[in-house]
Amino acid sequence: MKGRHNIIVRNKKLHYEFEIKRNITVIQGDSATGKTTLIDMLRQYENYGTDSGVSVECDVPCAVLEGREWKIQLENRKGCILFTDEGNAFVKTEEFAKAVRGSDNYFVLITRENLYNLPYSVEEIYGIRSSGKYQNTQRVYQQMYHIYSGKQDSLMRPQEVIVEDSNSGYEFFKSVCLENGIPCQSAGGKTKIFSKLLNSGDQEICVIADGAALGAEMKALYDWTQEHENVVLYLPESFEWLLLKADIISEGDIHNILEKPEEYIQSQLYFSWEQFFTKLLVDKTQDTYLKYQKKKLNKVYLHEKNKKAILKEIKGLRLE
């Protein structure tokens, strides 16, 4: 399954409308914000159709995944958007993560817990709030909004950089930082970023990580930045996405893919968008001087012209 799908769920009192574009979307937020009501309405429609008083509009089927029989339910679904309410403990299991990997479905997971087995994007964590769109009628319009964002708005020149991984991305940022007298260290993985921050000082720090799969760690990192103004997050989709955006590779279709990646990324092939961008970059540079390897950086990306093109794509962060 791929693409962007608009969903409208409504009855006489409530109207939900939102778009889903990745295989994993997470809806969080406090109680009494309408999350469980959305699931109830979908369940009513699934069981009773229009007799339920609920209408569901989408170009693909929408269904609720729940209970002990979730595996059987999932086996019988293909090309669907599957919603799961909080309270279904299976969403936290490795078994569920394996089922999501390779599934030809999209998943909308309503939970206040961090799902460490799933690589979901910081851009696909939402809350639900009431909008004034229908303020002159009796129907309440429920709207989804981003809780976090990977975008860094204010320009910053850090005094220290922490990079999520220890692969090519880290090698690139370490080299750039070394040239400009900025200490740069690898966290050694996304789960270890927070421990690095716990041991950091009061200097201006920038954390660089792949936003496409950082969702489970985002709350702790975001809360830390709210309490420590000296720390900012730079969260591109991935380092490979950044290289593709830099327009170094002369392939005409790359721009189109980056404009609407959801139209090209099959959920059953890619657990996260980071995997897709890595394969795209590897394939496009194969047998060229720009050949990319995730484990070890091709030094051609550090040549002055290429380096400047890459750094130009980094918004809100100045490393030179």
Other C-beta atoms closer than 10 Å to the C-beta of 101 total 16
Domain residue ranges in the chain: 5-146, 160-312
Round to whole Å and give the CA distance between 157 and 234.
12
Give the span between the Cα atoms of 304 and 33, in whole angstroms. 51
Give the three-class secondary structure for 307. Answer: helix
**Count of helices and strands (H, E) across the chain:** 10, 13
Question: What pLDDT is attached to residue 142?
Answer: 75
Rg of the Cα atoms in the chain = 21
CB 8 within 8 A of CB 59: no
* d(C-alpha 106, C-alpha 82), whole Å: 6
Q: Strand order in 205-208's β-sheet?
A: 184-186, 160-163, 205-208, 231-234
> pLDDT tens digits for 17-30?
999 999 999 998 76
Backbone angles phi, psi at 304, to 5 degrees: -50, -45
Residues 259-287 have pLDDT tens digits of 999 999 999 999 999 999 999 999 999 99
Residue-wise pLDDT tens digits, 127-169: 888 775 544 445 677 777 888 865 555 678 899 999 999 999 9
Give pLDDT tens digits for 78-91: 999 999 998 899 99
Q: Classify 31 as helix, strand or coil.
A: coil
Residue indicated by tokens 């991984």: 165
Predicted pLDDT at 70: 96
Q: Is 297 helix (H, G, I), strand (E, B) or coil?
A: coil
Structure tokens at 282: 């590897």
Q: For position 156, what pLDDT does the model report?
A: 81
